[in-house]
Amino acid sequence: MNPGQSERIRLQLSAQAEKYARKDAPPNIRRMAARGALPLEPLELTTVLFALAHDSEPQIKDTARKSLEDLPDSVLLASVEGRLHPAILSYLARAHSQDEGLCQKIALNPQTSDETIAYLASLPLVPVVDVISHNQERMLRHDGIVESLGRNPLTGRATIERILEFLGLPSESASAQSPSQPDLSEEAAEQAVLALLGQDSAGLASLLASEQTVEDEVAQGNLFAAIQNMSVMQKIKLARFGGKEARSLLIKDRNKVVATSVVASPKITETEIVSIAQSRAISEEILRLISANKDWTRNYSVKLALTRNPKTPQPQAVKFLNYLQDRDLKALMKSKDVPSAISTHARRILTKKGKF
């Protein structure tokens, strides 16, 4: 049964509560009940009002919806902590999407549907995001939850790393110890990608697993289309098993979990990291991850690329200025493509050295 489809909803009520919500109950009884002043426990009161909020009579429906949404916090919290029907939990999550405490309780309720959890994961509520990101079972069961978490601006680095670990994939910090040591042969990677795409996609799988750059524009278009049609979980796995071309496409994905999976891949090379650090199509979060990786930032080209990229968080970019050669500092000082804070700091370093 899909709880989102009201025609299939079967609500369980005591005989006392059912008399108010029955379709054949007298209209005056239903009208009175819709106002919410009923001698019922919180869970049953909420359920009766939800049933009446779907009444065939518009006046009863509107009154019940208002009563349901205006229930005291104590009644709502007691209801969502109990065995409330998934459809009612879904309704309340949307009606009270700014109520952090209520949404957190709904996220913790095992009766809540995975679809509702995916909706809650998209909300700008930090405690709710934290609760959901700790539920490994739900994330493995429903792609939409990871999709929502990955697109939520409040999903931070620690949460993303926890998600990757739950999914059985290396986090960026775990793979940082040997960021350029592939643990799969290209043949094994191709078989893994083929398993993601299906046996009729051998040609695409070969290209997506290859560590060679794909030059053909038609082939590039086919790869892009294939990735666009993938679920978020397939993209995350492709970031792990795929080759250079796959990584170059996935690093630009708007989902932070997908993009982070790319820099967490044990197959990624320092050459790719330099290219990513140079790109203005990369999210600030990915540039922050690269900036925090001591193995990658030992590479002078990575430091230089990060200082040149206006999307690099300024505290990190400023820190790397202290390691640049004079000629690069002079170029940054004159550049109109970097934030003024970067060019000003480059001038300050050169002045201190007596080079300007």
Nearest to 65 by CA among 84, 52, 79: 52
Last residue of a domain, one of 111, 127, 154: 111
Interval 317-354: pLDDT, tens: 999 999 999 999 999 999 999 999 999 999 999 999 88
Span 178-191, pLDDT tens digits: 444 445 666 777 77
Which of 1-15, 44-58, 84-98, 259-273 is predicted least confidently?
A: 1-15
Nearest 5°: phi and psi at 153? Answer: -60, -20
Residue 217 lies in a domain: no
Give the C-alpha separation, 170 to 44, whole Å. 46
How many domains does the structure of the chain reveal?
Answer: 2
Distance CA 222, CA 234 (A): 16
Q: Write the single-letter amino acid at 294.
A: K
180 in a structural domain: no
User: What are the pLDDT digits (tens) for 102-118?
Assistant: 999 999 999 999 999 99
Domain final residue pick, 54, 85, 111 = 111
**The residue to which tokens 């643990």 are assigned:** 183
Residue 134 has φ and ψ, to the nearest 5°, of: -95, -5
- Label residue 207 by pLDDT band (50, 70, 90): confident
What does each C-alpha distance from 64 to 20, 112, 283 come to in angstroms? Answer: 12, 22, 45
Number of neighbouring beta carbons within 10 Å of residue 353: 10
Q: How many residues in total does the chain contain?
A: 356
Residue 8 lies in a domain: yes
The verdict on residue 143 lying in a domain is no
Domain that holds residue 336: 270-356
Residue 129 counted as domain residue: no
Look at residue 7 and tell me whether its pLDDT is greater than 70.
Answer: no
Does residue 46 fall inside a structural domain? yes
**Greater confidence, 27 or 204?**
27
DSSP string, 234-287: HHHHHHHH--HHHHHHHTT-S-HHHHHHHHT-TT--HHHHHHHHH-TTS-HHHH
Which of the listed residues 93, 111, 129 is the one where a domain comes to its end?
111
- Across the range 164-178, mean pLDDT stands at 62
Asked whether residue 58 is domain-assigned, the answer is yes
Q: Is residue 171 part of a domain?
A: no
Whether residue 262 is predicted with pLDDT greater than 50 in this model: the reply is yes
Question: In angstroms, rounded to a whole number, what is the distance separating the alpha carbons of residues 81 and 112?
Answer: 10
